[in-house]
C-alpha cells in the first residue's frame, strides 16, 4: 500500500476535533448504555423491592465488573491492535487478531459463567452479602452469570466494530439492549411480580439481543477493513499476547475496580455495623453512588475510546502533532465533563438518592455523604482516564497499566484499611477523596514528559524533511 493511500485515510486527514466528535459520541452512548443496564435495575428494584434489593445488586456489581474486564482485555486490546495495524497497513495480522480474539472471548465467557455458578454461595459471602440480602443476591447473581458469555463477546465485538470505522453500529449494539431492558424491567418486576429475579432475567434477555446484533455485523459482511475468516478461528498465542498487552490497562482498571468493590463492600458491612446506619444501608447507598458515578466514568471512557483509533492510527503513521492534539482535545473534553458532573453531585445529592425509591432519613443522609465525600474529588478523573488510555492506544501497555492500577490498587485499597481503622465508616468514605488527588499527581508526572517527547519527535521530522 502506498503512502498516498495511507494518507487518504480520514484518521490522517480529517480535522482532529471533528474526528473525536464522530468517534466519541457513539462510544459515549455505548458506554452510557452499558451503565444504564445497572442503573435501570437499581431504580426499578428500589421501587419494587426496597433498599435490601438494591443492596443485593451492589453485591453483584463486582461480578459484572470482572466480566467487563475480561471483555476489555481482548476486545479493547484487539481494537487498539486493529488501529495500529491499519496505520501500518498490515491487513493479514489484523484479521488474524480478530479471529483469535473472538475465539478466546467465547471460551473465557463460558468458563467464567460455569465457575461462578458452581461456587455461587461462597462467592456471595466474599462479595460482602449479609444474611438479610443473601437470598436476593443469590437470585440476581445466578441469572446475571448466565448472561455473562453473551455480554463478554458483545462488548469485545463492539470495540472491534468501532475500530473498524463503524462507531454508530457499535453504539446500536448496546443501545437496543438498553432500551429493551428498560421496557422489560417493569414488566418482570411489577407485572410478573418477580422482584430482583425478574430484573436479572430482563437484563439477560436484553444482553442476548445485543449479542445477536453484534454478531450480525460480521456474518452479513458489513465490515469495512477487518474480516472474520474461518482460518483465523484457532487462537494464535503470539497475537493474543500482543492484544492482551494492549488491553491490559483496561483489564486492570476493571479488575482493580472489582477488587476495590469487594473490599469496600466488606468495609461498609463491618464499619456500618458499628455505626448508626447498620450494614445494609451503607451497602445499598454506596451501590447507588458508585453506579451513578459510573455514568460519568462511562462518558470519560467513551471519550477515551473515541480518541483511541485516532491516537493509534496516527502514532503508527508517525503523525506526532496529530497525536498530541488528539490527546489535548480529549483531555480537555473529559475534564469539562468531570467538573460538571462533580458540581451536580455536590449540590444535589439528596435529590439523586431519593430518585431510587427510598426516602428514609438515614438512607438519604448516608447517600448524600457518599456523594459529597467519596466522590468529592472526581473533578480530576477526566485527565486520569484519558492519560491512561493514551498510553494504551499508542502501544505503551506498562505505563498504561501502572496509571490504571495506581488509583485503585496502590492507593485506594490501603487507604480504605488505614482511614477505616482510624475513623470508621467516614474514614472509608474519605479514602476515595485522598486517592484521587494522589493519583492525578502521578498521572501528571507521566503525561507531561510524553507530550514533550511528541513535540521533539515532530520537530525532528520537520527538520529531516527540510
The reported pLDDT for the residue numbered 8 is: 62
User: What pTM was estimated for this model as a whole?
Assistant: 0.77
Give the chain's mean pLDDT.
88
- Asked if 410 contacts 443 with a C-beta cutoff of 8 angstroms, the reply is no
* Residue 3 pLDDT grade (very low, low, confident, very high; cuts 50, 70, 90): very low
The reported pLDDT for the residue numbered 7 is: 52
Q: Flag whether pLDDT at 357 surpasses 80.
A: no
Tens digit of each residue's pLDDT (9 = 90 or more) over 260-303: 889 999 999 999 999 999 999 999 999 899 889 988 888 898 89
Q: How many residues belong to the chain?
A: 466
Tens digit of each residue's pLDDT (9 = 90 or more) over 173-217: 888 988 899 899 999 999 999 999 999 999 999 999 999 999 999
The reported pLDDT for the residue numbered 1 is: 40
The reported pLDDT for the residue numbered 2 is: 40
Mean pLDDT of 159-164: 86
pLDDT over 70, % of the chain: 97
Tens digit of each residue's pLDDT (9 = 90 or more) over 244-254: 988 887 788 78
More confident residue, 394 or 147: 147
Tens digit of each residue's pLDDT (9 = 90 or more) over 452-464: 999 999 888 888 7
CA dihedral (380, 383, 384, 389) in degrees, to 10, reads 160
Dist CA 188 CA 177 (whole Å): 16
Contacts of 36 (CB under 8 A, 6+ apart): 178, 181, 182, 295
Contacts of 181-186 with C-beta under 8 Å, sequence gap 24+, read: 181/36, 181/37, 181/40, 181/41, 181/205, 181/206, 182/36, 182/40, 185/40, 185/41, 185/44, 186/44
Residue 243 exposed, middle or buried by CB count within 10 Å (0-12, 13-18, 19+): buried
* Residue 308 pLDDT grade (very low, low, confident, very high; cuts 50, 70, 90): confident
Q: What would you measure as the largest C-alpha separation in the chain, in angstroms?
A: 74
Residue 13 neighbours by CB distance under 10 Å: 11
Amino acid at each position: 500500500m502506498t503512502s498516498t493511500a495511507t494518507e487518504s485515510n480520514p484518521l490522517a486527514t480529517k480535522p482532529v476535533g471533528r474526528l473525536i466528535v464522530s468517534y466519541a459520541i457513539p462510544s459515549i452512548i455505548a458506554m452510557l448504555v452499558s451503565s444504564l443496564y445497572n442503573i435501570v435495575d437499581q431504580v426499578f428494584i428500589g421501587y419494587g423491592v426496597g433498599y435490601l434489593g438494591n443492596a443485593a445488586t451492589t453485591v453483584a456489581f463486582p461480578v459484572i465488573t470482572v466480566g467487563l474486564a475480561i471483555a476489555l482485555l481482548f476486545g479493547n486490546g484487539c481494537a487498539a491492535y486493529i488501529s495500529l495495524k491499519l496505520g501500518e497497513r498490515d491487513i493479514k495480522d489484523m484479521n488474524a487478531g480478530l479471529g483469535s480474539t473472538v475465539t478466546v472471548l467465547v471460551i473465557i465467557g463460558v468458563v467464567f459463567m460455569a465457575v461462578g455458578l458452581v461456587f455461587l454461595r461462597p462467592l456471595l459471602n466474599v462479595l460482602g452479602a449479609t444474611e438479610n440480602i443473601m437470598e436476593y443476591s443469590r437470585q440476581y447473581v445466578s441469572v446475571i452469570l448466565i448472561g455473562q458469555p453473551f455480554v463478554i463477546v458483545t462488548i469485545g465485538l463492539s470495540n472491534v466494530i468501532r475500530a473498524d470505522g463503524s462507531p454508530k453500529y457499535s453504539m446500536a449494539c448496546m443501545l437496543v439492549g438498553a432500551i429493551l431492558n428498560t421496557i422489560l424491567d417493569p414488566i418482570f418486576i411489577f407485572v410478573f411480580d418477580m422482584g430482583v429475579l425478574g430484573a436479572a432475567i430482563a437484563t439477560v434477555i436484553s444482553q442476548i439481543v445485543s449479542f445477536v446484533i453484534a454478531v450480525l455485523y460480521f456474518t452479513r459482511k458489513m465490515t469495512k477493513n477487518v474480516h472474520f475468516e474461518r482460518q483465523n478461528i484457532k487462537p494464535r498465542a503470539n497475537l493474543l499476547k500482543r492484544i492482551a498487552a494492549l488491553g491490559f490497562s483496561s483489564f486492570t482498571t476493571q479488575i482493580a475496580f472489582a477488587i476495590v468493590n469487594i473490599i469496600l463492600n466488606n468495609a461498609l458491612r463491618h464499619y456500618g455495623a458499628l455505626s448508626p446506619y447498620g450494614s445494609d444501608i451503607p451497602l445499598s447507598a454506596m451501590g447507588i453512588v458508585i453506579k451513578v458515578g459510573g455514568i460519568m466514568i462511562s462518558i470519560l471512557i467513551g471519550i477515551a475510546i473515541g480518541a483511541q483509533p485516532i491516537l493509534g492510527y496516527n502514532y503508527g503513521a508517525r503523525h506526532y502533532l496529530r497525536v498530541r492534539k488528539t490527546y489535548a482535545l480529549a483531555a480537555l473534553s473529559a475534564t469539562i465533563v468531570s467538573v460538571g458532573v462533580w458540581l451536580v453531585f455536590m449540590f444535589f445529592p439528596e435529590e439523586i438518592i431519593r430518585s431510587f425509591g427510598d426516602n428514609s432519613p438515614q438512607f438519604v443522609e448516608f447517600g448524600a455523604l457518599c456523594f459529597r465525600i467519596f466522590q468529592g474529588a472526581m473533578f480530576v478523573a477526566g485527565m486520569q482516564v484519558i492519560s491512561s488510555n493514551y498510553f494504551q492506544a499508542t502501544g505503551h501497555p506498562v505505563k498504561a497499566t501502572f496509571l490504571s492500577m495506581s488509583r485503585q490498587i496502590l492507593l485506594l485499597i490501603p487507604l480504605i484499611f488505614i482511614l477505616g481503622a482510624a475513623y470508621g465508616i467516614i474514614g472509608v468514605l474519605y479514602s476515595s477523596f485522598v486517592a484521587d488527588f494522589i493519583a492525578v499527581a502521578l498521572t501528571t508526572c507521566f503525561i507531561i514528559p510524553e507530550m514533550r517527547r511528541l513535540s521533539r519527535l515532530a520537530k525532528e521530522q520537520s527538520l529531516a524533511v527540510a
